[in-house]
Amino acid sequence: MPHKIWAGSLKFGLVTIPVGLYSATEDHGIRFNQYERGTHDRVRYRRINERTGKELEGDEVVRGLEVDGTLVTVEQRELDDIAPERSGTIEIAEFVALSEIDPVYFQKAYWVAPADRRNARGYSLLRRAMAETERVGIATFVFRGREYLTALRPESEALVLHTMFFLDEIRDPANVLEHAPPDDSYGSRELRLAGDLIRSMSTAWHPEEHVDTHTARIERLLADKAAGRAPRSGTEHVETTATVDLAEALRRSTERARAERKHSGSGGERADRDAERPETAPVSTLTREELRRRARELDIRGRSKLNRAQLEKAITESPGVHGGGRATEEDTGTRSRGRPRKARR
């Protein structure tokens, strides 16, 4: 069961529903520690006075900022005194159409769940009513000492809360588009070719086909070095398209996209990724995404909750695994994966 990070009430009108918040996402990035080169000694950071070089204790350090040339320091109790009071309620102030909110406003997503079975009916009613009216709820609430603007929207089975940026936190794009040409800087032929390319590359959204390749390469690098193998290079050189070649580049890109889709169908890119790893590769050399893909192929129950060691063990002990932990054609060839889940808004 995921950890509940907040408990309180969801209120709209005179209806109050006890709920809990759970993080809807998790970071799978690799966090390295730091060591002194040539040793196993960890590197630690200390508080050092940059003028005297003296090491300071925690109670000797105070926070501050320069205001109009004057250093202003603040104590934690002063910050606590002006912090917003802890809010136990997410109170919806208004409902708006989701299409009216630019995605640039969204920060982090949280699942909202009813606190118990007794309140599930009101929760389900709100979710369905919001779905049928195609509206999202706008609310503010205090979380970890900070006030957040939020958008509450319905999903197929649950409510999801998005923390949002306030308007004054959104930067004006005009400040970064100094090199953007006017719309009349290209011809109708280039516009038509760009549209053709977009249409030829258009497909349904399949999130399972998009993986964090950078993290996978880091995992592969670590596995190779731990096993004493020479690291494999996966870098690609990307050339910038010259302005004079834009129309020709668009035309050739469209032809290539159509040829690739005709040749490989919707699963071509995924097949290419699978082909990078030998069929009999030991599970210990696989990246996390490759392990998860094999677990899906073998239909291992509870795979989303397993850590790497548990995944390796489950795959190795699976009845459909031979040699390096790969399912045979007999085991997987007739297994239906089902249609991908419908893309969510």
Q: Could you write out the DSSP letters of every residue in 40-78? A: -PBP----B-TTT--B--GGG--EEEEETTEEEEE-HHH
Q: Is the dihedral of CA 252, 258, 259, 264 positive or negative?
A: positive
Q: Report pLDDT for 255.
A: 81
Q: How far is CA 133 from the centre of its chain?
A: 28
Q: Report pLDDT for 20.
A: 95
Residue 269 is encoded by which pair of tokens?
Answer: 């890119």
User: Is residue 180 within 8 Å of residue 173, measured between CB atoms?
Assistant: no
Q: Report pLDDT for 40.
A: 95
Residue ranges matching CATH 2.40.290.10 in the chain: 6-25+83-169
Among candidates 139, 125, 98, which has minimal Cα distance to 8?
139
**Measured torsion, CA atoms of residues 329, 330, 333, 339, in degrees rounded to the nearest 10:** -130
How crowded is residue 48: how many other Cβ atoms within 10 Å of its Cβ?
A: 11
Can you list the residues of the chain whose pLDDT is less than 70?
1, 86, 233-244, 263-281, 284-285, 287-289, 305, 320-345
Q: Report pLDDT for 298.
A: 85
Residue 208 is encoded by which pair of tokens?
Answer: 């399972």
* Rounded (10°) angle between helices 288-297 and 213-226: 100
Q: Report pLDDT for 158.
A: 94
Q: CA 64 to CA 27: how far, in whole Å?
A: 32
User: Is residue 163 within 8 Å of residue 107, measured between CB atoms?
Assistant: yes
User: Is residue 140 within 8 Å of residue 148, measured between CB atoms?
Assistant: yes
Q: CA 128 to CA 159: how far, in whole Å?
A: 10
Helix (H) or strand (E) holding 109: strand 106-114
pTM, full prediction? 0.64
Q: Report pLDDT for 7.
A: 93
The region, left, alpha or beta by phi > 0 then psi within -120 to 50, assigned to residue 208 is: alpha
Q: Report pLDDT for 28.
A: 85
Q: Could you write out the DSSP letters of every residue in 135-201? A: -EEEEEEEETTEEEEEEEEE-SSSEEEEEE--GGGSPPGGGT-TTPPPGGGS-HHHHHHHHHHHHHH
Q: Report pLDDT for 331.
A: 39
| CATH code reported for the domain at 6-25+83-169 | 2.40.290.10
